[in-house]
Structure formats: C-alpha cells, structure tokens
Chains A and B, each alone.
Chain A
Amino acid sequence: MGLVDRLRQLRAKVPEDDLEGRTQALVVHGNEFGFDPFGLSKQNLKYAITVARWMYRHYFRAQAFGIENVPATGRVILVSNHSGQLPFDGLVIASACFLEPRQPRLVRAMVEFFVPTVPFASYLFSRWGQITGTPENCRRLLSAEEAVLVFPEGARGISKPFNKRYQLADFGKGFLRLALETGAPIVPVAVIGAEEQAPAINVKPLAKLLGMPAFPVVPYPPFIAPLPLPVKYRVYFGEALRFSGDPDDDDEVLDDKVKTVKNRIQSMIHLGLREREHVFW
C-alpha cells in the first residue's frame, strides 16, 4: 500500500455513533439536579463525549478488540498499561467502553491528586465521571457496581522514556487489594500506540528541579508534548481474571497475583505489537 492509499484510507468512513442514545442509555445514579455523588452529570458528559469520539474515531482511528470481555453491568476493575506522557490512553479506553459495546459503560478513571488543584480540570474531570484516585473512592464506586479504570504503573508508566516503550513499569498493589475486598473481576487491558504518541526522553535534572516525577522532552517543537502524534491506537481487552484471598495479606503474598495480571497484560502487548503493521496505520 502506497502512502497515497494510506492517506485516502484516513478519509474512510467511520462508524456512525448514536451519542445521544448512548448517553441516555448510561446508568448514572443522579439526583434531582442530575449529578451523581461524584459530580458526574450526563449534561456535561455529552460535550466531552463528542470530543472524545472525534479523537477516538478520527484522530487515533482506534480499534478495540475483545470488548465483549467488559461485562455490561456490575462492578469491574479495568487494569491497563499506562504510557504516552499525556493520559490519552485513558480517553481511548473510556471511549471504547462507551462506543463499542451494545450497552455503553462509563469508565471511571482514577486521576492524580494534583488534578483537583488545576483550574477547570478540577471540576470538568469530575463532571465527566473521573475521580480522585483514593482507595475509598474506588471502593465506593465498586460497591455501587461501577467500572473503574486503574493504571497500576501510575506516573512511572505515563512518563516512561521512549527507549522503555512497551516494557511495563512496577505495578502498585492497591488495585488487587480492592479486587479482593470487593470481589470485583479484573479485566486486563493492553493499549498499543500510546507509547509512540509522544516519543520522549526524560530530563532527570529538570524533573528534580521542578519536583515532578519526570520531565519528558520530545525531539520536535514545542518539545513538551502538549499534543500527541496521530498514532493508531489498538486496545485489547482480555478475559476477566478473578482472584480470591485476604485483601490484608502481606505484599509478598499479593505479589504473585499482581504478577499474574502484569504478565497477562505484557503478553497481550506482545500479541498486539506482533499484529500491528505500522505505528500510524
């Protein structure tokens, strides 16, 4: 396929999405003002979804595999690899769960603690159903039968440099404790493409100076990765994993279970990388 064909393919038809209908079909425990306890409102969500859908369908031309592994109802923890300097992987996973299955699901990601201090992001994230990443919040949502998205790599993952791409960083154990405690199944998710959206090197001295976990610099203007490259996203949803045991076990006991999830995601990443022909197509 030549470049011209590729570019023509970019203008190919994307599936029509009934955003209005899907928003209405979402299960939201709202009060008389239309807000759920975490500040989510369908009214606000509509705007976000319009933008998210454009990013998902047109900009990233994302493909979702195995979406049937995400249960239509009931509590579930989605556990994914995290990369790309900016959390567009979260946006793509959430869009996939909203747009692809028959019954749309709202995925609630755990956001970093600094987000509530940023003007506008502070309340917009919560209007769109995203929540501050405390275990209490996660527990509350799971017991309300919601879908929670966790990136156990956290900041280690999202700010990893380009030469470490598709190698999983250390996993936190919090998600597994929550899974054991609430009896929620874990759906492993592998995101392919995000690693190349902002190929960055980590300038450690600058990071230290600014007190940030990492200071990624991309080799093209404006050097700080505000906009991702239009890579093609592939999202793989694996079969749900169920664990049993004591949530208060020592870290070493939990380690094996965490490793099971991590290995599952790593092998899904390998599979995804083998299947992909090109970063941008």
Chain B
Amino acid sequence: MSSGEVTDRSIPSAGRSPSDSDLGPRPRKVVITGISGRFGRIVARRLHHELGWQIVGLDRRPMSGRPKDIELHQVDLRSKKARDVFRAGDVDALVHLGVMHDPRARPAEIYSWNITGTTKLLEYCAAYRVPKVVLLSSANVYGPRPDNPQFLTEDAPLLAAQRFPEMRDLVEIDHLLSTFLWRARETETVILRPVHIVGPVHNAPSNYLRIPRPPTLLGFDPMVQLVHVEDVADAIALALAPGRRGIYNITGPGEVPLSAVLGELGREPRLIPHPLAKPVLSFAFRLGISSFPVAELDFIRYVCMVDGRRAAAELGFRPRHGLRETIHAVDDPA
C-alpha cells in the first residue's frame, strides 16, 4: 500500500485507552467540516478507506457520489443541528476544513460563517470532550511581505491581514484555534499551516495555475512553495494520531520561482505593471472577466514561504510527491 508508512504512524495498535479495547473494536469517529468540497472528499476518502475511520460530514452543500457508509449532515455550522452531531459524545476527532474562502460571496456572510461557525465548533468540542481537533489553516496567514525571512517558522506573527483586510478571517480562525490549543488542555489541538495546496481542487492557487494566461506582475517573480493535496491529506492523518498537538507548517517538495511553475505547466503569463495591477484586476474582477482576487496580489509579488522542519521532526511528515508531480497535479482529473 502506498501510504503504509503513514498508516503505521497514525494508528498505533494500542492508541486508545484500555477501556475502549475492552468494548471491542469500535471504528474511531471523525467529524469533517467542508466535506463536500473536492478537498474534503479527498481527505474523507483517505481517512475512511485507508485508515478505517468512521466519517461524519458537516457541510451545507450536498456531497456528490457519497459512499453509503459516509454520514453527511447538511447543516449550517452555526445552527443547533450541528451540535447534535457531537451530543452523543462519541466523536473522537474534528477535522475543520470548512473555512469559507469565496471571493464572490458577501464579506459579512463569510465573516460570520467562519468566525461564528468556528467558535461554535470549538464550543461543542469542549462541551462533549472531543479529544482531538485538527484545523487546516494556511501558510498564507503569515502574509507575503518584502521583509519576510525566506522561511518563516511557526512563531512568526500572522500579518496577512495587514495589507489586505480580506485575509482577516483566515488569521482570526487560526488565532481562535491557537487560543483553544492552550485553553482546552484535554483536547489535543493541531493547527496545520500548509503552503499553497495544489491538485484537482478548487482553491485559489490551483485555480490560478489552471488559467491559461495567468496575470503576473512585471518585474516580480517570487519563490513559491506548493504541496500536493494528497500530501496534505497525509499530514491530516498524521495529525490525528494520539499525542500530537501544536502548530505545524506543512511544506511540499521544494521551492521554485513562480515563473518556473508557470513554465512547467506551459502557461503564458500576462505581465501587468504592479502599480496598475490592483485597479485593473479589481475592475476585471467586478466585471467577471477575471477571477483573480485582488487580495491575493501580494502572493505573486513577495515571498511567503515557511520552514517545515517542525512537522518533519515531530509529525514525521514527508511529502510523497516530487516537485514536477506536484506542479502538474493542478491538471489532474478530479
């Protein structure tokens, strides 16, 4: 099996307390928010098929092609019904992927969904003693800045919202979870901050790399880090293992300039002088010609790279996909 190593690490045979094994093998139950997205489905598949978790999905959207043995609750995270999922007290872990990041939705609605939703989830986890919480945050929370060190460690301040307030949700959710990490000592909280996730998913970096003629800034070509979506699923599986808690940057197979990534994919960049980029792209965005969110302009201008050594040392995380493989993953069929 391809992920043999991961499996061994994630489910030590005597991982649970003795009382559980006395009751006979009960599959461990994980609640996954945002399961209906493509990324959510990849994570669910990994945890379910390869690691034998019992999956409960929480999402407002329906999940197409849902296997029968995956339970889905189509509810709003903020509603009372979401609480019912936890009420029985048999949830072993929460994997929070349901951070909404839709540049076309109303900012107030996104904010309420993200902040209130996450707060509620943490409330349930504390009330019903969920032993493990994993948040999929992002390395973007550090923010691309000209004075960034080449590799940011987990202790760096989260400055993403400084120039683009649109990024504040991401930062605030990360802060919510890190407060929870220190406050709720009975719960093992893991915050994963992966670099740009690429693969057959609909997130900002993958969408950007699929544009045949993506906009780039004239005279800027920052180094970027990409990580394969399957490798992130691995990282989540590793984070679910008992005993792991903390904040981890998740890095991919290496660093390359943005131009090399676009070159490898055969894209022809559309060069825009940077003083014009903001007005031009926000106009095009409003007209619907471009789907490039202006808030992410600095990601194609400055470096925002992270140091993944802590995840390698403490989680035992290693990306399984090489650099070329990772770059080409954006064109993989879903």
Q: Which residue on B lies nearest to A113, using beta carbons?
A: B147
Let me know if B285 is at the binding interface, CB within 8 A. Answer: no
Q: Which residue on A lies nearest to B253, using beta carbons?
A: A31
Q: Which residue on B lies nearest to A39, using beta carbons?
A: B223
Bound state CA distance, A120 and B259, in angstroms?
A: 13
Chain B residues whose C-beta falls within 8 Å of the C-beta of A37 in the assembled complex:
150-151, 223, 254-255
- The 8 Å CB contact of B150, one of A31, A118, A123, A132, is A132
Bound state CA distance, A122 and B303, in angstroms?
A: 10
Bound state CA distance, A113 and B145, in angstroms?
A: 10
Let me know if A16 is at the binding interface, CB within 8 A. Answer: no
Q: Which residue on A lies nearest to B217, using beta carbons?
A: A119
The answer to whether B255 touches A39, judged by C-beta atoms less than 8 angstroms apart, is yes
The answer to whether B220 touches A122, judged by C-beta atoms less than 8 angstroms apart, is yes
Let me know if A59 is at the binding interface, CB within 8 A. Answer: no
- Nearest-neighbour CB distance to chain B for A45, whole angstroms, equals 14
The answer to whether B219 touches A136, judged by C-beta atoms less than 8 angstroms apart, is no
Let me know if A272 is at the binding interface, CB within 8 A. Answer: no
Bound state CA distance, A64 and B256, in angstroms?
A: 35
Let me know if B324 is at the binding interface, CB within 8 A. Answer: yes
**Which B126-164 residues sit within 8 Å CB-CB of chain A?**
146-151, 153
1/0 per residue B298-332: CB within 8 Å of A? 00011100000000000000000011100000000
Beyond A131-B150, A132-B147, whether A31 also contacts B323 by CB under 8 A is: yes
Q: Which of B150, B153, B217, B254 has the most CB of A within 10 A?
A: B150
- Nearest-neighbour CB distance to chain A for B62, whole angstroms, equals 41
Bound state CA distance, A134 and B149, in angstroms?
A: 6
Question: A residues within 8 Å of B by Cβ?
Answer: 31-33, 35, 37-39, 113-123, 126-127, 131-132, 134, 136-137, 140
- Nearest-neighbour CB distance to chain B for A141, whole angstroms, equals 9
Q: Which residue on A lies nearest to B301, using beta carbons?
A: A122
- The 8 Å CB contact of A38, one of B150, B218, B260, B273, is B150
The answer to whether B274 touches A119, judged by C-beta atoms less than 8 angstroms apart, is yes
Let me know if B296 is at the binding interface, CB within 8 A. Answer: no
Beyond A31-B323, A119-B219, A123-B222, whether A137 also contacts B150 by CB under 8 A is: yes
Let me know if B257 is at the binding interface, CB within 8 A. Answer: yes
Q: Which residue on B lies nearest to A35, using beta carbons?
A: B256
The answer to whether B149 touches A132, judged by C-beta atoms less than 8 angstroms apart, is yes
The answer to whether A123 touches B221, judged by C-beta atoms less than 8 angstroms apart, is yes
Chain A residues whose C-beta falls within 8 Å of the C-beta of B150 in the assembled complex:
37-38, 131-132, 136-137, 140
- Nearest-neighbour CB distance to chain A for B172, whole angstroms, equals 26
- Nearest-neighbour CB distance to chain A for B163, whole angstroms, equals 12
23 A–B pairs (Cβ distance < 8 Å), ordered by A: A31-B255, A31-B256, A32-B254, A33-B323, A35-B255, A35-B256, A37-B255, A38-B223, A113-B147, A116-B302, A117-B146, A118-B219, A119-B217, A119-B218, A119-B219, A119-B220, A119-B274, A122-B220, A131-B150, A132-B148, A132-B149, A134-B147, A136-B151
Chain B residues whose C-beta falls within 8 Å of the C-beta of A120 in the assembled complex:
219
Chain B residues whose C-beta falls within 8 Å of the C-beta of A116 in the assembled complex:
146-147, 302-303
Chain B residues whose C-beta falls within 8 Å of the C-beta of A32 in the assembled complex:
254, 322-324
- Nearest-neighbour CB distance to chain B for A151, whole angstroms, equals 17
Bound state CA distance, A25 and B223, in angstroms?
A: 24
- The 8 Å CB contact of B260, one of A33, A113, A132, A137, is A33
The answer to whether B151 touches A33, judged by C-beta atoms less than 8 angstroms apart, is no
Bound state CA distance, A117 and B256, in angstroms?
A: 19
Chain A residues whose C-beta falls within 8 Å of the C-beta of B322 in the assembled complex:
32
Question: B residues within 8 Å of A by Cβ?
Answer: 146-151, 153, 217-223, 254-257, 260, 264, 273-274, 301-303, 322-324
The answer to whether A35 touches B220, judged by C-beta atoms less than 8 angstroms apart, is no
Chain B residues whose C-beta falls within 8 Å of the C-beta of A126 in the assembled complex:
223
The answer to whether B220 touches A123, judged by C-beta atoms less than 8 angstroms apart, is yes
Bound state CA distance, A19 and B218, in angstroms?
A: 30
Bound state CA distance, A118 and B274, in angstroms?
A: 10
Chain A residues whose C-beta falls within 8 Å of the C-beta of B254 in the assembled complex:
31-33, 37
Bound state CA distance, A199 and B248, in angstroms?
A: 51
Q: Which of B217, B256, B323 has the most CB of A within 10 A?
A: B256
Bound state CA distance, A119 and B217, in angstroms?
A: 9
Bound state CA distance, A134 and B322, in angstroms?
A: 29
Q: Which residue on A lies nearest to B149, using beta carbons?
A: A136
- Nearest-neighbour CB distance to chain B for A214, whole angstroms, equals 20
Q: Which residue on A lies nearest to B144, using beta carbons?
A: A116
Bound state CA distance, A123 and B223, in angstroms?
A: 9
Bound state CA distance, A35 and B259, in angstroms?
A: 12
Q: Which of A35, A114, A118 has the most CB of B within 10 A?
A: A35
- 18 further contact pairs, Cβ within 8 A, besides A35-B223, A119-B220, A123-B219: A31-B255, A32-B323, A33-B254, A33-B264, A38-B223, A113-B146, A113-B147, A118-B219, A119-B217, A119-B219, A119-B273, A120-B219, A121-B219, A122-B146, A122-B220, A123-B221, A132-B149, A136-B151
Bound state CA distance, A137 and B151, in angstroms?
A: 8
Bound state CA distance, A120 and B216, in angstroms?
A: 13
List the 8 closest A-B pairs by CB distance, nearest first.
A119-B219, A136-B149, A116-B146, A123-B221, A120-B219, A113-B147, A134-B149, A31-B254
Q: Which residue on A lies nearest to B273, using beta carbons?
A: A119
Chain B residues whose C-beta falls within 8 Å of the C-beta of A122 in the assembled complex:
146, 219-222, 301
Bound state CA distance, A120 and B255, in angstroms?
A: 19
Chain B residues whose C-beta falls within 8 Å of the C-beta of A123 in the assembled complex:
219-222, 257
Bound state CA distance, A12 and B164, in angstroms?
A: 57
- Nearest-neighbour CB distance to chain B for A279, whole angstroms, equals 36
- Nearest-neighbour CB distance to chain B for A14, whole angstroms, equals 33
